[in-house]
Structure 1
Amino acid sequence: MQGNQAKTLLASAGFACFLAMNSFSLWGFTLLPQTTLGPDSFSLWSAPLSYGNALSFLVFVVGAYKLPCLFNRNPLTAATVLLALASILLNGFMVLESSPMLIAAGTCMGIGTTCSFFCWARTFFADGVDAAKTEIVLGSVLSAVPFLAFLTLDPSAIVFTLSVLAFLNLIALFAHGRMEKPKRTVPTAAEPFGRIVGSSWKSLLCIAMIGFMAPIVATLSHQPLDAMEFVQQTLMVHSENICAAIILGIAWLGLRRNVSSIKAFTILFPILTTVLLVFPFIGENARIIVPYVGGVAFVVFSVVLTIESISVSTERNVNLTVMYGLYAGLLYCANQIGTIVASGLGDDFLFEETSIMAVLFVLLYGCSIVMFFITRKSGRGGAEENVPPSATPAKIDTVDIACQALIKEKGFSERQGEVLLLLAHGFDIPTIAKKLYLSENTVRTHTKKLYAALDVHSKQEIIELVNAPRQ
């Protein structure tokens, strides 16, 4: 027990250092070049870092299919080399003021940060979903300590502090890996990409909408954000992480709810809709609430998709690199597209009231379309789809009721319940695997657990069991 607590504390502290490093490198230097890197260094640092971070997620997805022996490994070594190189180049720029050196530093930092993301995804997978939720929430709260330390530092010490945080992040990842006994094998099965997208398209739709929306709503309130002092901006941006951690902490740890990207969007939809509708009617000083809500939504999704990708990878025995890379890559790439769109619109366009109303209408319309698709029901979904013609509606209802009673009585998981329902309708293991986008071995594992819990030995006995009340 003490070993588990030590791993949780180590992972939380290391993740806190990583979040502070990531938040400060991705966000802080978009505003700090004037005080730390020089007024002309914004595009030289921020753009290579952001694009390197977003695109390297998708490189991992492609690499997991094309070069699995390389991309299915723990990228800790790559993260170490890239972050060390970024720190050396960044400190070198402070002395030599060489533009190519700063561009290279930003690129290395972006790709190294992505490698660290995958390292943490593997770390959370090793600890299990429940422990990972605790580590993420605790780490998000603890990240306030190193992040707010930047406020007390002289600008000349900020780059050094960023390097220290990167080093502590790597040390925590390495130490946690050494403590991990026995090690859980990370799934590397290469399920067809089309099948993964087909089974996750609703989640991907929600992720893309939030990623695209966040920078645009931030641009809508650009003027009051610029008017704030740097300390106020820092507190506001980092409080988004804390607010998101509190929300998910209540949902995960307090209420014991399973929050998916679809559920998160369903909950956030009325909130986002409300703030967008009231935006034109509130004073300019109060409009800062819009980018704040958008920022919290972005952070919530970035955390939820980490847990969701681990859960999906575990349940379906799907390649973790592909699932996490696809989810996170889409979020950050959509965010970059939104940033480009917001920049292309220009200040003169956005800050005219008519233009603002047009942008708000497009965002509301887009959110509504996503909401329509994720709440739309096609029949009753995969479990009921293609039910044998011989099954009458009355029989289906009775079987479903009996299965739901067993699921509740035995405390089966959502996936086990889906397998039970299909077994009760007479489907064999290969068919169930295709319907649920699982491997046949995974279905057999769920089936064995169902047999043991129900004290049966075959599919026919399950069919007889669920039909027993009618007989």
Structure 2
Amino acid sequence: MENTTRISPISSIAHSATKTEIASLFGLALVHAWIYAFNTSNEATYPWQYVYLAIAAAMLALALLSRKHAAFITSKPACAIAGIFGMAAPLLAFVAHSNSLGTLPLIFGGIFVGWAYSIWGIAYSRFSTPQAIFLLFVSGILAAVLKTAFFLTPEPIVQILLAILAPFALFSGLSACTVSQSIPRGALRFAKKDVKSLWKVGAIVLVFSVVNANLLANEQIHPAAMTISAFLVARAAEIFLCACILAWTFLLKKPFNFVQLWRIILVLLATDIVVRIAFPGIAFQPLFSSVCVNFIVLFVWLTLSDIAQHSDIAPSVVFGIGWSLYTIPLFAGVTITQKLGTQTTEALFLALLLYFMLIVSTFCLELRDRDIQLIFSDVNADAAPMPQEFADIDTRCANLAEKVHLTARELEVMQMLCKGRTKAYIAESMFVTENTVKGHTKRLYAKLGVHSKKELQQLIDLE
């Protein structure tokens, strides 16, 4: 398989987008920096992990809602309301003193971040894997810079900056959705009927999230109380690892796969555990947990982007369920560990965590697993063959559309139907209702003289 990273990762976008639109493609950095600063800049007494439960609830609710109202997530009035939640959360967190009021910022913050992630999930579901890698890890570098700026800024000003930043994070996502609409969809690899085969992916995300949650809950030094030198080393490590992945993929033009990426997390988590056992209380220890959180987030996001790009499941559903596999175990792990008390910091408990993580990794991170090989196969020269190959599907559809005088929308619907997409998926991708897609499909079938998706695909195959 040809390594698609030899082509500039955003060349297909840059020629038709303005500079502002191109800049908006890196706006996911705003969301990542926002949630980090929101959780660490406040030293309030409320349990910070509940914001992750709120994120999961918001994304799952939006995924359910989008099945009947595909355009709702990206509608400007709805995004404006989500932006208000994002603006209110840091301001309330700063002034909150009672426990009853202290939980309100977490709910507001969770709704905002969940909404922002859902919008960005739709945008990333349209990017090819090379494009997603480039945008995601450059955004990771930008997020590290923003985290540093927030860390060095007095807390009252940070809360004001977060309030200002919230609407920009949402509307840059909307801009990215608009720009990404022109990108052709990838070939279908993960159909609904095959989704159960990805259980190993879910198991890895869940287990690594639980382990990292236990480590976060037992940190002896709060991230906000880290020394400047320790904090800067942690951010430098994030930038260095992001730069390494970018260099490996685009400068050295080397393939990589799901297993390689998650083995990086395995090494980071294992290093964190060993350091806690061998050097308890060391000042630089929190940087390992911080870097692990960052890269679990990036790798989960990249994995979900690839699955959504090559699936007939709506992007909001892929990201809603997939992101919950990260956030809910994180919430549960931190909460349970805090209730168990300081006994969980003992060396035996940490050793058991390491052992459990290694066992699960041994069985789930298998290079020969066919379903695992399909993930990131756009940049993996050794990937297994795709179940369906539509190398020239867009060209064939365009040629047929010209003959029968299809509209641009009908052509777009035809291309997606021929790739196996569902009407719900098409509706969310086009930011319209499912009834609108049904109308385009009915007219499309009438013009072509077919009665089903199968007949349409057969017609295209014979063209």
Write out per-residue CA displacement over residues 48-100 of structure 1, whole angstroms, 9 at most, x where no aligned residue: 42321233333345x16xx6023675346444313313424653675686765
Query: Amino acid of the residue matched to residue 121 of structure 2?
Result: A
Structure 1 counterpart of 2:316:
321
**Whole-angstrom distance in 2 between the partners of 1:360 and 1:371:** 17
Structure 1 counterpart of 2:69:
70
Structure 1 counterpart of 2:7:
none
Matched, 1:49 2:47: no
Structure 2 counterpart of 1:141:
141
**Whole-angstrom distance in 2 between the partners of 1:227 and 1:96:** 18
Contact map agreement 1:216 1:338 (CA 8 A) in 2:
yes
Larger Rg: 1
Shift of 1:43: 0.7
Query: Amino acid of the residue matched to residue 42 of structure 1?
Result: T
Contact map agreement 2:93 2:102 (CA 8 A) in 1:
yes
Change (3 A) 1:370 1:258: farther
**Whole-angstrom distance in 2 between the partners of 1:24 and 1:303:** 17
Change (3 A) 1:189 1:129: closer
Write out per-residue CA displacement over residues 404-432 of structure 1, whole angstroms, 9 at most, x where no aligned residue: xxx9xxx9994645558xxxxxxxxxxxx
Of 282, 285, 305, 1:285 maps to 282
Q: Give the match's secondary structure for 1:361.
A: helix
**Whole-angstrom distance in 2 between the partners of 1:342 and 1:374:** 25
Contact map agreement 2:87 2:164 (CA 8 A) in 1:
no
Q: Give the match's secondary structure for 1:43.
A: coil
Contact map agreement 1:276 1:360 (CA 8 A) in 2:
yes
**Whole-angstrom distance in 2 between the partners of 1:42 and 1:188:** 47
Of 197, 209, 212, 1:211 maps to 209
Contact map agreement 1:83 1:113 (CA 8 A) in 2:
no
Matched, 1:249 2:246: yes
Contact map agreement 2:214 2:334 (CA 8 A) in 1:
yes
Contact map agreement 2:120 2:177 (CA 8 A) in 1:
no
Structure 2 counterpart of 1:345:
340
Contact map agreement 1:252 1:258 (CA 8 A) in 2:
yes
Shift of 1:214: 0.9
Of 40, 58, 61, 1:59 maps to 61
Of 349, 364, 374, 1:374 maps to 364
Write out per-residue CA displacement over residues 345-371 of structure 1, whole angstroms, 9 at most, x where no aligned residue: 212x145xxxx2221232122112212
Query: Amino acid of the residue matched to residue 199 of structure 1?
Result: S
Q: Give the match's secondary structure for 2:220.
A: helix
Query: Amino acid of the residue matched to residue 159 of structure 1?
Result: Q
Of 293, 316, 336, 1:298 maps to 293
Unaligned runs of 5+ in 1: 34-40, 384-406, 421-438, 458-471
Write out per-residue CA displacement over residues 279-321 of structure 1, whole angstroms, 9 at most, x where no aligned residue: 43336426x44x5334433322322222222222232333222
**Whole-angstrom distance in 2 between the partners of 1:188 and 1:99:** 48
**Whole-angstrom distance in 2 between the partners of 1:206 and 1:329:** 13
Shift of 1:117: 0.8
Structure 1 counterpart of 2:351:
361
Change (3 A) 1:228 1:72: same
Shift of 1:343: 0.6
Contact map agreement 2:249 2:255 (CA 8 A) in 1:
yes
Structure 2 counterpart of 1:37:
none
Contact map agreement 1:76 1:119 (CA 8 A) in 2:
no
Query: Amino acid of the residue matched to residue 367 of structure 1?
Result: M
Shift of 1:10: 1.4
Contact map agreement 1:260 1:305 (CA 8 A) in 2:
no
Unaligned runs of 5+ in 2: 1-13, 390-415, 422-452
Length-normalised TM-score, structure 2: 0.68
Contact map agreement 1:187 1:313 (CA 8 A) in 2:
no
Contact map agreement 2:87 2:163 (CA 8 A) in 1:
yes
Contact map agreement 2:213 2:334 (CA 8 A) in 1:
yes
Query: Amino acid of the residue matched to residue 58 of structure 1?
Result: L
Matched, 1:10 2:23: yes
Query: Amino acid of the residue matched to residue 69 of structure 1?
Result: K
- Equivalences for 1:14-25 in 2 at 5 Å? 14-25=27-38
Structure 1 counterpart of 2:260:
263
Q: Give the match's secondary structure for 2:313.
A: coil
Structure 1 counterpart of 2:110:
110
**Whole-angstrom distance in 2 between the partners of 1:234 and 1:3:** 40
Shift of 1:107: 0.7
Contact map agreement 2:125 2:308 (CA 8 A) in 1:
no
Of all paired residues, the percent bearing the same amino acid is: 13
Greater fraction helix: 1
Query: Amino acid of the residue matched to residue 202 of structure 1?
Result: K
Contact map agreement 2:129 2:306 (CA 8 A) in 1:
yes
Structure 2 counterpart of 1:335:
330
Q: Count the aligned residue pairs.
A: 382
Shift of 1:227: 10
- Equivalences for 1:189-204 in 2 at 5 Å? 192=192, 195-196=194-195, 198-204=196-202
RMSD, aligned CA: 4.4
Query: Amino acid of the residue matched to residue 260 of structure 2?
Result: K
Shift of 1:187: 11
Structure 1 counterpart of 2:132:
132
Shift of 1:255: 4.2
325-334 or 305-314, which deviates more: 305-314
Query: Amino acid of the residue matched to residue 328 of structure 2?
Result: C
Write out per-residue CA displacement over residues 165-215 of structure 1, whole angstroms, 9 at most, x where no aligned residue: 1122233223344545637679999965x852x211111111011111112
Contact map agreement 2:56 2:327 (CA 8 A) in 1:
yes
Contact map agreement 1:12 1:135 (CA 8 A) in 2:
yes
Query: Amino acid of the residue matched to residue 130 of structure 1?
Result: P
**Whole-angstrom distance in 1 between the partners of 2:272 and 2:94:** 42
**Whole-angstrom distance in 2 between the partners of 1:178 and 1:372:** 41
Contact map agreement 1:50 1:110 (CA 8 A) in 2:
yes
**Whole-angstrom distance in 2 between the partners of 1:189 and 1:315:** 5
- Equivalences for 1:302-451 in 2 at 5 Å? 302-347=297-342, 349-351=343-345, 356-375=346-365, 414=383, 416-418=385-387, 441-442=418-419
